Structures are given as structure tokens and as C-alpha cells.
Amino acid sequence: MKIYERESNVTLFAYETQSERVLVTEAVKRNIPLKNANLRGMNLSGIHLTNTDLSHADLTNANLNEAKFINCVFTGADFDYTICHYAHFSRCIMTEAILRHVSCIETRFNECDLSHAEIVYSTFMMAMFANCKMIHAKIDGSAFILSRFDTCDMTHVRMALACWNETAVSFTVLADTILTAKNEYPEYISMDGSALKFQDVHYINGSGPFARFNSIGELNYEEK
């Protein structure tokens, strides 16, 4: 196993006989730090990591299918164009993580902190967010299809151009949520077939006309 470090960035290279998943697992076992690691394009499908610090790691174009992360730290990590089908993130810190153009199918986020994360233009099919903190996250342009949010805090979340199709949102706080990018009316957001049971009132930038959703996802306006 070869490890190169430059300016606090770690790059891992596997021999031809080693899988990239084994390489990273062995690095963790040997207490090799993966903070700032360059894991671009790696096939880490099926990897299981616990209590691992991957802060600011570069996971661009990585394959995380069926991966399992428990109590891991992904603060500021870059997940651009990552594939996360059937992956499981449990009690992970993902604050300020970048998830652009990520593909998730039946991906589970359980008790994760995604505050200030940038989750934009990504697709979540049959995904589950349970007891997650997503304060000040951006989910602009992302699609949530047949997915579920349960007991999450999405205060101050920005969701301009987001698509929510047949997605259940239960007991979730969306206070002072920014529904549009430039104060447009929220018809730019699709919520077709979604079941919504929000805990709190929902504002557009916290001022002006604000929107309320009823139990079948219809949108009503009121002047403040």
C-alpha cells in the first residue's frame, strides 16, 4: 500500500491486487488519517467504516453503493457525482458537506447532522432521512421521489426548484424556510403526491406572503 501526503492531503494508491475498499479499510486499521484524503473515483462499494474522520475528504465520482458509515465525520467533504445506492449513514456529522449531482437510491440517513450542507441537483429515490438536522442546508434543484423525512429539523433550509414527488414529510420543522431563489412564488417547487405533516409554519424568506401546506400537499398563501 502506498500513501502520499502533500500539504495535509492524503492520496491512497492500491496495488493491482488490492481493491480500493480494502485499501481504505486497511488504512483505517493502521490509524492512517483520512482527513483531507483524496478518494476521487474510488470504488468503495460495500465498505463499512466506524468512528472515522473523513473531514474535507474528496469523494468526487466515488462509488459508495451499499457502504455503511457509523459515527463518521464528513465535515466539508466533497461528494460531487458520488453514487450512494443502498448506502447507510448513521449518526454521521456531515456539516458543510458538498453533495452535488449525487445519486441515491434507498439511501438512509439516520441521526445525521447535515447543517449547512450543499445538497443540490441530486436525486434521492426511496431515500430516508430520520431524526436528521439540516439547518441552513441548501437543497436547490434536488429531486426527492418516493422518499421520507421523519422528525427532521430543516429550519432555514433553502429549497428553490426542488422536486418532491410522492415524498412523505412527517413531524419536520421547516420554519423560515426559503422556498425560492429570488423571492419568486413557490410554484417553482413540485410536491406532486407528497404527504406533508409539518410541525411549524413555513415562511418565504421570513417575510412577505407566506405559504402553508395542508395534509395533501396543497399550497395556500396568506399575507402577513
| pLDDT tens digits along 62-80 | 999 999 999 999 999 999 9
Whether the per-residue pLDDT at 61 is higher than 80: the answer is: yes
Q: What percent of the chain has pLDDT over 90?
A: 50
Q: What is the model's pTM? A: 0.78
Q: How far apart (Å, rounded) are the C-alpha atoms in residues 103 and 95?
A: 19
Mean residue pLDDT of the chain comes to 78
Confidence of residue 193 (pLDDT cuts 50, 70, 90): low
Q: How far apart (Å, rounded) are the C-alpha atoms in residues 113 and 55?
A: 13
pLDDT at 62: 94
Cβ burial 167-191 (10 Å sphere, 16+ → b, else e): bbbeebbbbbbbbbeeeeebeebeb
Q: Which residue has the higher pLDDT, 114 or 160?
A: 114
Question: CB-based contacts of 16: which residues, under 8 Å, 6+ apart?
Answer: none
